[in-house]
Amino acid sequence: MKIFKSALMIAAICGFMTSGSAMAANKIVMDGSTTVGPIAKSFASYFTKKTGIEVTVSESGSGNGAKSLINKTCDIANMSRPMKDNELAAAKTAGVNPVANIVALDGIAVIVHPSNQVKALTKEQVSGIYTGKYTNWNQVGGRNVPIVVIQRESNSGTQETFHEMVVGKENKITTQAETQASNGAVKSRVSSTPNAIAFVGHGFLDKSVKAISVDGVASTVKTIKAGTYPISRPLFMYTNGKPAGSVKQLIDLPKTKEGKAIINELGFVNKY
């Protein structure tokens, strides 16, 4: 009898180890982008109420989301940028097959304090501010005050996308730039700092900050969906292989009436 019980215990442990760390406990684990975070949290709340399956959401940044998927410690990696070549290579080595699932569209809004008289900048001017070429607002049509430059941490997908699309891969961001850890922290800093400039996901815009147009185009649902806003991007939920079962149900929410409503309410843009 003891041998039989031991065999059952070993079988149960092996079954747990091979069936996936999260779903083995009837639970879905999500990790990654703070930009995708509001969508993920709202989806999680709705999905848990509908199915009874627990969904946890961590916001450690897109880079850490990719690491979690590669390390098989999450079922879904929320990312505000595509996976990099080195991440895909690491995943292959770990036996993970990352599949990109677009859940929404987003624009990276360039924001300033509501009292700032500047309403529009060119992409070249924004790049110049972030590389240190322009250090005073009077160089770009504003008051004679120093520019307080705010950026995100290096692990942020929003930071990497902004750097690539606006500043340019070949250029370095000024060492004078102040770093904030999340979209919320960035918005809070700008709302309390009259001379600041920063960037956040479109879904984080509210009256506490002012979004300025870039190259003559404002960040709106219409311009983001049309791709005319110059800093537009897709938002991803990566899975290990094509999503199946409960994970697929969750991933497919953006295609449903309820999922579209959630995305709209949060200020993001529906792809479907």
Own/partner pairs for 217-220, CB < 8 Å, 24+ apart?
219/107, 219/108, 219/109, 219/110, 220/107
The verdict on 90 and 159 lying in the same domain is no
The pTM for the full model equals 0.82
**Spatial distance between the Cα atoms of 30 and 225, rounded to a whole number of angstroms:** 26
Q: Which positions ≥6 away from 180 have C-beta within 8 Å?
A: 150, 151, 152, 153, 186, 189, 198
Do residues 117 and 15 share a domain? no
Domain assignment present for 270: no
Domain interval for residue 198 = 106-232
What digits encode the pLDDT tens for the residues 90-138? 999 999 999 999 999 999 999 999 999 999 999 999 999 999 999 999 9
| Same-domain status, 154 and 199 | yes
Judge whether 256 lies within some domain: yes
CA distance 85 to 93: 12
- Supply the CATH number for residue 146's domain: 3.40.190.10
The answer to whether residues 118 and 196 belong to one domain is yes
**Could you report the per-residue pLDDT of 155-169, keeping only the tens digit for each?**
899 999 999 999 999
